[in-house]
Structure 1
Amino acid sequence: MAIVSFVGAGPGDPDLITLKGYKKLQSADVVIYAGSLVNKQLLDYCKKDAEIYNSAEMDLPEIIDRMDISVKAGKDVVRLQTGDFSIYGSVREQIEEMKKKDIPFDFVPGVSSFLGAASQMGVEYTVPKISQSVVITRMSGRTPVPEKESIQSFAKHQTSMIIFLSVQGVRKVVRELLEGGYPESTPAAVIYKATWPDEKIVEGTLADIGDKVKEAHITRTALIMVGEFLGDEYNYSHLYDPTFTTGFRKGKKDVTK
C-alpha cells in the first residue's frame, strides 16, 4: 500500500540526511519538498521519473490533495521537510488533514539545524556544572508565542538557549534576554545556514552580538545561541573519570568508599 513518509532533510548538508531518509527519497514516486529552506541538492537522490513539487508554492489544501491523489494512484510520497520536522515543522496541521482523508503516513526523523549548528561550532549544550538543560524557543511574530513562554521568562534560568526564527529581530531578542536575567557578558553566537556551503558564524556576547549580526547582514535562516556553554569555563563529567565506578568498569580508586 502506498504511503506518505515525512522525512527530515537534515540541517543543510545533503550528506546529513539519515540513511533511512535517503532510502525513502531514493525510492519515492512523488516528492513534496519545502523549497524555501531545503537544500535542492537533496533532489539529486530522487529517481529520474519522480514527480517533484515545491511546497513553498502550495497552500495546505493543495499539499494534501497532491498527497491524496498520489497515494490513491499507488504512488509512495516523501514529504521532505527541513532539519527535523518535529521542531517548527508545521507537521501537525498536515497530519490532521491527512487523517480526515485516511491517508497513511509514517515519520523518518532528521538532524535538526540546532544540532548541526552545535557541530559546526564544536560545542556541547550540556556542560557539567555549567548547564544541563536546553531551551529551544522563538520570538513572537506573525506566529504568536504564549506569554508564559516568552524569551524573557525563559532567560531567568540562564541555561543554554537556542532561538529559532528570530534573527531578524536580534536586538529585541537581546533586550528580552537581558531583562530576563542574562548578564551582558553572556557568550552568544549566530550561525547562518549551519552546514551549508555559505554558512556564516558570528560570535560575541549579549553586549555586542546585535551589532555584529547587523554588520554581517544576517536577516534570516539563522539560529541565535546563548549561554555559558559557549564560554571558556567547563568541567569534566564523571562518565570517563578514571576514579568513577560505573556499571561497566570499576574506578581505579573508588572515591565513594
Structure 2
Amino acid sequence: MVYFIGAGPGDVDLITVKGRRMLQEADVVIYAGSLVWDAHLQFCKEGCEKHNSASMTLEEVINVMVKAENEGKLVVRLHTGDPSIYGAIREQMDCLDEHKIEYTVIPGVSSFVASCAAIKKEFTLPNVSQTVIITRMEGRTPVPEKEDLELLASHKCSMAIFLSVQDIDKVVEKLKKGYGREDVPVAVVYKATWPEQQILKGRLNNIAAKVKEAGIKNFSQILVGDFIEGDYERSLLYHPEFTHGFREGSK
C-alpha cells in the first residue's frame, strides 16, 4: 500500500494526525527533499528506508514503490503542503494503477492557507470577495491561455499565486492590467510556517521593489486582493437579526 501524504507547508506539527501516524508506521518513505522539511523524518521508525525524490525521476520513484510493494512494505510518499495542488501525484497514481498497487491520499495544509494565516487575514470577506483563485505564472511549465494571470485577475477576487515570485515584475504587470488599478494590496510570504518565514506587504505599485530588496527568489506565496486590507461588511451568520437553521434572529 502506498500513502500519498501532505506534509503541510513547513512546520512539522502542521501535518495531520493521520499523516503523522502513517509516517511513523512506514517501511519506506519517499519525500520531496527540496520542499519538505527533513525534520519530518525524525518521526520515522528505526530501519525505515528513506529516498529523497529531489534527484529522482518519475520512473525511479515508481520503481521504489513497486519493489516495496513486492516485499510487502508500507510506503509513504511525502509531499509538501497538500498533494492535490501542484503535487504531480496524478502521474504517480496512474502508474500505480498500471501495476495494480493500491494507494490512498491523505490531505495536508497547503501553503496558500498557511500564508493567509501568517498574515492573519481571511480570503472570503462579505462584499469584498467570495472567491479564491489559486494559480501560477507561466514559466518552464506552461499555463493554458484561458488561465492567463491577467484574465484571472480581471475577476478582482482574492488570489493566491504559487511558484511565481521569481518573475515578480511580470506578475505585477499582469495583475495591474487585470485588476485595473495599481493600489491593490499584496502580501508575499516566504516559507510560511518555517523558522525563516518572512512577510512582505505592499501594493502592486511597490511590492516588486520590496521583493527584490529582500532577495526573495523562491519558496513564496503571492497573495493579492482587497481582503488584505480595507472595509468589509459584517457576516450575516452571526448577525443577531439573521435567522438560520440553528438560531432565530431578533426582529
TM-score by length of 1: 0.96
Q: Deviation per CA, 1:192-211, whole angstroms, max 9, x where unpaired? A: 00000000000000000000
In structure 1, C-alpha distance between the alignment counterparts of 2:129 and 2:200, rounded to whole Å? 22
SS in structure 2 at match of 1:136: strand
1:158 maps to 156
* Residue-pair matches, total: 251
Give secondary structure in 1 for the equivalent of 2:5: strand
Partner Cα separation in structure 1 for residue 34 and residue 179 of structure 2: 35
In the other structure, the counterpart of 1:249 is 247
Alignment of 1:1-257 (within 5 A): 3-253=1-251
> How well do the aligned residues superpose, as a CA RMSD in angstroms?
0.7
CA distance in 2, matches of 1:79, 1:97: 14
Q: Deviations over 1:61-81 (max 9, x none)?
A: 100000000011000000000
- Cα deviation for residue 182 of structure 1 reads 3.7
Runs of 4+ in structure 1 displaced over 3 angstroms? none
SS of alignment partner, residue 230 of structure 1: coil
Identity of aligned residues (%): 53
Return 5+ residue gaps in structure 2 as ranges.
none
Runs of 5+ unmatched residues, structure 1 = none
> Per the alignment, in what secondary structure is the counterpart of residue 126 of structure 2?
coil
* Residue identity matched to 1:165: L
Q: What is the SS of the residue equivalent to 2:227?
A: helix
